[in-house]
Structure 1
Amino acid sequence: MNMDKSTILNAFNERSKNTLMETLDIEYIDVGDDFLTAKMPVTSKVHQPYGQLHGGATAALAESVGSAASNFFIHNERQFINGIQLSINHIKSMKEGIVFATAKNIHKGRTTHLWEVKVTDEEGNLISVAKMTNIVLDIKK
């Protein structure tokens, strides 16, 4: 990483303003050479009608982290990332607390990136696991 951890996290959190990530209260909280982690509170805002964490909110968290993580491997001045595939399995439900999503790279190509995103609760129990594919596109000027 060329920048310090707090600079990177602040940049990701700043870019989340006025987006779905802000609506869902997703916050990037940790970054390392091979991972990016974000958290999301589990409240009624992200519940399905039965009062449990909505799988779509979990998928939005996983995709947000997987997409953001790909930014480490591109030239941000001339390229951008689009998610092209997300597959997610929900293992365990929860009604309240905080979920954490950590993206780890599986494949880093010139035009595609593949990520594994594990979503856990505060005790480290696996809630969901996702695989996400991103495409690297050139910014057209």
Structure 2
Amino acid sequence: MDKTAILQKFNEHSKNTLMDTLGIEYIAVGSDFLTAQMPVNARVHQPYGQLHGGATAALAESVGSAASNFFIDQKTQFINGIQLSINHIKSKREGMVFATARNIHKGKTTHLWEVRIVDEEDHLISIAKMTNIVLNSSKK
């Protein structure tokens, strides 16, 4: 499957989900990464007009979960996130943030991802570590 088709598939699966609500769009994929973007606007602000940490965490988990799909048999397996740890480094009020997931560990039953969230100028906004578990579809 070519890169454009992969991104289109991920974006199609996001329709009518939290990713769609937050405006998350998958924009780049490579052999060792997946990147998505999310607009920073009132929809993802906390009451003080800054990017909500929960929205940032949702972006990180979305990208980390989607990326694990490259390493499983999607006909017989699926992914569940089991742990997310995130540190918020810098606030943001408007513009765009970009989350890139890179694999740290690819096991048979768990995957570990580092997800870096940066702004348009590549300033670090947040950094996350996410663990996914690989489950058999019969347990879905």
For the criterion TM > 0.5, the same-fold answer is yes
2-structure distance, mates of 1:140, 1:70: 18
- Cα distance, 1:94 vs structure 2: 0.5
Q: Which runs of 5+ in 2 are unaligned?
A: none
| 1:77 paired residue number | 75
| 2:25 paired residue number | 27
Alignment-mate amino acid for residue 38 of structure 1 = A
- Cα distance, 1:54 vs structure 2: 0.1
| 2:45 paired residue number | 47
> How many corresponding residue pairs?
139
CA RMSD of aligned residues (A): 0.7
1-structure distance, mates of 2:104, 2:124: 19
- The C-alpha deviation readout for 1:82-102, integer Å capped at 9, x for no partner, is 000000000000000000000
SS at match of 2:46: coil
- Cα distance, 1:44 vs structure 2: 0.3
2-structure distance, mates of 1:12, 1:90: 26
Q: Are residues 1:5 and 2:3 paired?
A: yes
Alignment-mate amino acid for residue 32 of structure 1 = G
2-structure distance, mates of 1:18, 1:121: 25
Q: TM-score, normalised by structure 1?
A: 0.98
SS at match of 1:132: strand
- Cα distance, 1:63 vs structure 2: 0.1
| 2:61 paired residue number | 63
Q: Which runs of 5+ in 1 are unaligned?
A: none
- The C-alpha deviation readout for 1:81-125, integer Å capped at 9, x for no partner, is 000000000000000000000000000000000000000000000
Q: TM-score, normalised by structure 2?
A: 0.98
Runs of 4+ in 1 over 2 A off after TM superposition: none
SS at match of 2:138: coil
- Cα distance, 1:13 vs structure 2: 0.1
SS at match of 2:10: helix
SS at match of 1:48: coil
- Cα distance, 1:8 vs structure 2: 0.2
